[in-house]
């Protein structure tokens, strides 16, 4: 009986050891994938968002209120590319070489705060972009008075202050900040969802009016222009929803496997990588949707290719 129990214990210990080795191997593979994705995305995130800002700033034809707000949103995406993504790569590299104490410092004091500030800022800017579209389509007569350059500058400045304060206060009163940010996320989602329901119904009403009534060519052009800008913001919101949904699906699949919090930390960080990819998708959406932006940006890349023919 003793021999049988020893054999059983030995087999159990071997199985546990094999599972631990398999988990460790999986974690390393996940880390390597994270490093590859983030290292590849980071320079393009910074470059493309800066190009969006420069294109809007230097081209009068692009300086509509909607494009100015998208350029402000691009600044928040560039911020994520400059702070959250490089710190994420450092965190993953140190964990890969088993320097977990250094990785923990980078994650707690740089990466988490930068990502929290960046996502807070992005959500606030998305609310502002959605509000501008709501006023432009639903309350057209109030648009010139509500959406002014001064109001945009003040709103954007306040959003940046709030975002940076969440980063700083995270180390002083973390639970209060997380509660505040959680409330902000809920408010943002509710506001954006309700706004797009209203915008969808208003767009249908305008289309019905165009089909049943005779309208001027100027009114038709205004509708087409505003509707195109609305579709762009829908794609931007959709890219954020896509990244969050993918990260949520991945996280749920990890939780269903029954991993502990300590074991799943690598997979939770992979969810952050998916969320940060939204900052790369946004400028790609702008270039895809706006022909003028493409005309400005494509010559830049053609000059870059001529200067670096080996690449």
**pLDDT, tens only, 160-174:** 998 888 888 877 776
Does the pLDDT of residue 141 top 80, yes or no? yes
**pLDDT of res. 20:** 53
135 close to 147: Cβ distance less than 8 angstroms: yes
**pLDDT of res. 251:** 67
Which pLDDT tens digit goes with each residue over 88-121? 999 888 888 888 888 888 888 888 889 888 988 9
Confidence of residue 13 (pLDDT cuts 50, 70, 90): low
159 close to 124: Cβ distance less than 8 angstroms: yes
**pLDDT of res. 16:** 47
For residues 54-66, give the mean pLDDT.
87
Describe the crossing of helices 278-289 and 65-79 by its angle, rounded to 10 degrees.
150
What is this structure's pTM?
Answer: 0.84
Confidence of residue 85 (pLDDT cuts 50, 70, 90): very high
Top mean-pLDDT range of 21-25, 177-181, 214-218, 272-276: 272-276
């Amino acid at each position: 009986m003793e021999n049988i129990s020893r054999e059983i214990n030995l087999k159990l210990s071997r199985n546990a050891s094999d599972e631990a080795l398999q988990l460790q191997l999986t974690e390393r593979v996940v880390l390597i994938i994270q490093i590859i994705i983030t290292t590849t995305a980071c320079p393009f995130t910074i470059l493309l968002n800066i190009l969006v800002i420069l294109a809007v700033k230097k081209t009068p034809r692009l300086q509509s209120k909607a494009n100015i707000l998208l350029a402000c949103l691009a600044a928040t995406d560039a911020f994520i590319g400059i702070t959250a993504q490089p710190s994420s790569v450092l965190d993953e590299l140190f964990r890969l070489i088993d320097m977990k104490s250094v990785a923990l410092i980078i994650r707690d004091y740089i990466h988490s705060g930068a990502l929290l500030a960046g996502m807070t800022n992005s959500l606030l800017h998305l609310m502002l972009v959605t509000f501008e579209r709501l006023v432009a389509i639903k309350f057209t007569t109030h648009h010139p008075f509500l959406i002014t350059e001064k109001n945009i500058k003040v709103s954007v400045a306040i959003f940046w202050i709030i975002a940076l304060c969440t980063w700083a206060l995270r180390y002083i009163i973390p639970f209060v900040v997380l509660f505040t940010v959680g409330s902000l996320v809920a408010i943002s989602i509710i506001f954006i969802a309700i706004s797009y329901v209203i915008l969808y119904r208003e767009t249908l009403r305008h289309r019905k009016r165009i089909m049943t009534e005779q309208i001027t060519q100027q009114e038709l052009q205004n509708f087409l222009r505003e509707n195109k800008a609305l579709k762009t913001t829908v794609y931007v919101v959709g890219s954020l929803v896509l990244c969050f949904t993918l990260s949520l699906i991945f996280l749920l699949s990890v939780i269903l496997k029954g991993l502990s919090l300590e074991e799943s930390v690598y997979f939770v960080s992979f969810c952050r990588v998916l969320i940060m990819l939204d900052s790369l998708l946004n400028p790609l959406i702008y270039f895809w949707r706006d022909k003028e932006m493409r005309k400005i940006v494509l010559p830049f890349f053609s000059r870059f290719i001529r200067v670096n023919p080996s690449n």
